Structure 1
């Protein structure tokens, strides 16, 4: 199933599912309030709620709580996640980005999956405008995939980690490269280079929908990024070095993960301007339109202002 959060014509914001590709079901309205209005609350009891929400797939146009998708505005499917950890899990991206900065690959990267915390309260959704941060001239996109935690757990082993995943979505880890470069010379960060915006969406697809695409440590899903309609980045999620299960094992070591936390994969190979080089494409400017596309996960489109 594909879960979304959307704004109705009267301004109310609800969560629900997409059915028949062009209809959105308000899961609370359609079930007379037995399911919650917000996805974050749904995730608190996702296993039992999934039994109820499965019945919504049989609804059609004209049923209670069903809206044509063009009559609502999709926003970030999880507008205020409990936290956001972003990992660094694609070898090609790490190697290329470091090489472009004159740096060698570090052996520690192969020993543990590493991550940083970003601003979980600066989440953007599909079609949202992304403002260029103050004092930045090097704005970059990053083509990533994310998983959403659907069950509480601590010290989760990689072999059990899939049981804690609710679903997956596209993630754009916007980066102000000049701010990032400056602050990380201190040996701490990134911070201001990242915390102004992260886009997710257009929906969260449940993990069962991707099982048949499983390949290696990831999934056989093409990943693409376009700027102003021009294809710049192209990779495949199956090339990931660390699985989401390994990331969850690392993230949950000595720490409790809660439903509604987001874990990012890091950037796929070729998935940002920093890696491609500014001779391939300049840094992003106001008016640029960025589209990230991943098989089964849709297209996440944003404009720069």
Structure 2
């Protein structure tokens, strides 16, 4: 089943995508509530899919973005940090950072260049969406807590990211502007036929810029299956209905920075206004976003030297 949230005739609705149409749920039926209840409402008259604007399927409570493709780590590390190889700690456990759930955009929305960015990049990922809540899950338990999957494009301002990560806290404004989630949410049962003998989802992933293919990979090249990511995310805390867990960017051109790191130059060039990025994931669908001009960065001065005063002046 494919579940979408969309805007039609100035109204936000949710429903089931089927045969080029959307079958709407009753007004007020939010997709996150549908996931939480586990009950699919009755649907109304079909609306042609090409007449609606697809929105992010849900507004998640949180977004964890993992880095689970070894090939991606190797290439991007050289591009962003100037370091070679993969950190040994990467192999120990699936690492993630928290992204901003309030910056999600839809499958065909425009992407404004973030303020101050010169080196804009895409990142081709698949996201799992949590259904039932849980805490301290085992890997065996985790699969039953995955409701479905969507395409996830973790847009990145590489020049901002490279500078701010020198502080040692990970990315902040290099990521804090937009992520595409869509085009809809595909329930987990729909993708079970793609599961390989090692327990990974062997989905084909492709990304193009201006209709020229830049990268392709298999989702099964992840270092850990999604069940491991879910179990790890639930350690010592509670994962909630609607939480989004990104796979991390695939290898073999899943982002530009990986190619920059391998080639030692910005080839292909960073994204610019007018560029169109299209991502297709087998069994899920396609998202297609156009880059448009953004707003200039409002100036903020550098930190002042520390005054070293220990008491307030009288």
State TM-score, norm by structure 2.
Answer: 0.87
Distance in 1, matches of 2:211 and 2:257, equals 19
Match of 2:15 in 1: 16
What is the CA-CA distance between 1:96 and the residue it aligns to?
Answer: 2.1
Distance in 1, matches of 2:129 and 2:233, equals 13
CA displacement, residues 2-28 of structure 1 (integer Å, 9 cap, x when unaligned): 00001112x110111112x21101122
RMSD: 1.3
In structure 1, the residue corresponding to 2:125 is in which secondary structure?
Answer: strand
Is the alpha carbon distance of 1:279 and 1:137 closer, same or farther for their aligned partners in structure 2, counting shifts above 3 Å? Answer: closer
Superposition map of 1:2-41 within 5 A: 2-9=2-9, 11-19=10-18, 21-28=19-26, 37-41=29-33
Match of 2:280 in 1: 293
State yes or no: 1:89 paired with 2:65: no
Match of 2:289 in 1: 302
Distance in 1, matches of 2:12 and 2:138, equals 36
State yes or no: 1:43 paired with 2:23: no
Distance in 2, matches of 1:181 and 1:73, equals 34
CA displacement, residues 164-199 of structure 1 (integer Å, 9 cap, x when unaligned): 000001000000001101111000021100010000
Distance in 1, matches of 2:247 and 2:62, equals 15
Match of 2:158 in 1: 177
In structure 2, the residue corresponding to 1:97 is in which secondary structure?
Answer: helix
Match of 2:138 in 1: 157
- Structure 1: 4+ residue segments shifted above 4 A: none
Distance in 1, matches of 2:77 and 2:116, equals 24
Superposition map of 1:194-273 within 5 A: 194-215=175-196, 216-269=198-251, 270-273=253-256
Distance in 1, matches of 2:120 and 2:8, equals 32
* Matched-pair contact (CA < 8 Å) for 2:208–2:214: yes
Distance in 2, matches of 1:147 and 1:279, equals 31
In structure 2, the residue corresponding to 1:127 is in which secondary structure?
Answer: coil
* Matched-pair contact (CA < 8 Å) for 2:67–2:95: yes
CA displacement, residues 42-69 of structure 1 (integer Å, 9 cap, x when unaligned): 12212xx04x56xx5xxxxxxx332111
Match of 1:65 in 2: 45
What is the CA-CA distance between 1:83 and the residue it aligns to?
Answer: 0.5
List alignment gaps of at least 5 residues for structure 2: 293-314
Paired positions, count: 284
What is the CA-CA distance between 1:40 and the residue it aligns to?
Answer: 1.3
List alignment gaps of at least 5 residues for structure 1: 30-35, 57-63
Q: Which one of 116, 133, 142 corresponds to residue 123 of structure 2? A: 142
* Matched-pair contact (CA < 8 Å) for 1:4–1:17: yes
Distance in 1, matches of 2:189 and 2:48, equals 25
In structure 2, the residue corresponding to 1:199 is in which secondary structure?
Answer: strand
CA displacement, residues 70-109 of structure 1 (integer Å, 9 cap, x when unaligned): 222211111x211100000011111222244333321111
Distance in 2, matches of 1:195 and 1:228, equals 25
Match of 1:60 in 2: none
What is the CA-CA distance between 1:123 and the residue it aligns to?
Answer: 0.4
In structure 2, the residue corresponding to 1:41 is in which secondary structure?
Answer: helix
In our comparison, the structure showing a higher alpha carbon Rg is: 2
State TM-score, norm by structure 1.
Answer: 0.90
